[in-house]
Structure 1
């Protein structure tokens, strides 16, 4: 029996199309996989910023997850914007319930938008660390998020390495600390995998562009997709970073909106893949 490799993204909706669910679906589709979604919040935003957030009731979030899991079981789950503790609890309960249906979870602990708008309530951070991080294959905090989670300033690559190792204590199998905001000529991300002695470092030249809206969403979705396509974690991160780099490079001279525009997700789209093996639903 043929099937499409499916990735379920659980995140907020961005009406301007650059981040959130919209960026996730674009990314998953561009890489040749099938995207399903569960929307956690409806945001009012554009390239200039976020002006409103309306949370979806937890029962409807659980309903969306159940509808996908019981009909189109995903190989990977990507989790993005989670505005409040009730949402986080609802998702954690659903993921525990449907554990046999998926293989990987990539958690992007979104706390602040590209334009600097806060996207998560204070009490949600404790729920995030205690309920969802222990379930994750990988968490992908940026520098600001890693500082919030560790309570320490991160200003150098050695700081990032220490933070990544420290964040493993929350229970995920691996941590990717993203260094895009370091004041360096090159961008460097640090991947620490539980049980390994040394981190993996991924460096690339910095691209001067204001079109960086949704890069974190795109990266985590790409990693989830490559994991679903059978790539080992380190390779999935490497390929995802290359995809984001090319997306930024190919979209840097395009004018969309008056603020932070999106990258170009479809610079080299891949046809939707079809796998031959049968995936059984429990």
Structure 2
């Protein structure tokens, strides 16, 4: 009998451009060989130029979606994106707690985007994340503005990046990858994890290459790749290295200008039937 293909679950918002949100997440999951399932937490009016508006789905809608999919196709890992209300955070935490099994859960706390969009959730959602969700999260992946919202600390440079990461661990995060893309001096990403003997392990992942264009949805892609890497059995540091390498390849080879704003990562076969042969 053939072993069933494992699946990953994204719990996030719907982006019409598929540059971010569940469209991007599901494409990444398929890139890594997984079946992709989804629960929609918000309908977002968004394009390559930014977020215009968003409407959270109700607690009941999120609860019903989770009940269906978790009861039918159990995931090998879960990626969390936009959780647009405290009620949504609470119901997601309830379902994760009820799983009764260990599986990687990656939280990309979409509270402030990389392109200065309207805040997606705000401080009420940040408080709910730290109260209800952090105990169930394997890896937290904030950018600097999001880490600042979560901790109340300024995050402007490498030293403050470290202090905010340590504070997030004190607040209950098992592991934190604080992305450094917004910071002075481009210090790279900082992983803090594996608290042993009271001292968290730190590893810096430097910026390997920069590109002269913006790409939308990089946080979604990285968090989902991390979910796939951890679900495959990799330890934390190799998983981060593998996921960052995947993202860098997409920056280099798959970032296309399809709209009027930032580029998006294109997940498609190399065949181009619309071009003349």
> What TM-score, normalized to structure 1?
0.88
Is the CA contact 2:7–2:77 (under 8 Å) kept in the aligned structure 1? yes
CA distance in 2 between counterparts of 1:41 and 1:201 reads: 33
In the TM superposition, what is the alpha-carbon distance from 1:187 to its structure 2 partner?
Answer: 5.3
Q: How does 1:50-65 map to 2 (within 5 A)?
A: 50-65=51-66
CA distance in 1 between counterparts of 2:90 and 2:51 reads: 24
CA distance in 1 between counterparts of 2:171 and 2:39 reads: 25
Return closer, same or farther for 1:165/1:266 CA change in 2, 3 Å cut-off: farther
Is the CA contact 2:16–2:46 (under 8 Å) kept in the aligned structure 1? yes
Task: List 4+ stretches of structure 1 deviating above 4 A.
Answer: 265-268
For structure 2, the 5+ residue unaligned runs are 271-277
In the TM superposition, what is the alpha-carbon distance from 1:98 to its structure 2 partner?
Answer: 2.2
Is the CA contact 1:207–1:249 (under 8 Å) kept in the aligned structure 2? no
Is the CA contact 1:115–1:260 (under 8 Å) kept in the aligned structure 2? no
Task: Name the SS of the counterpart of 1:70 in structure 2.
Answer: helix
1:263 aligned partner: 265
CA distance in 2 between counterparts of 1:132 and 1:31 reads: 26
CA distance in 1 between counterparts of 2:146 and 2:122 reads: 13
2:151 aligned partner: 150
For structure 1, the 5+ residue unaligned runs are 269-282
1:244 aligned partner: 247
RMSD of Structure 2 on Structure 1 (CA):
1.8
CA distance in 1 between counterparts of 2:126 and 2:191 reads: 22
Return closer, same or farther for 1:81/1:40 CA change in 2, 3 Å cut-off: same
> What TM-score, normalized to structure 2?
0.90
In the TM superposition, what is the alpha-carbon distance from 1:175 to its structure 2 partner?
Answer: 0.7
Task: Name the SS of the counterpart of 1:82 in structure 2.
Answer: coil
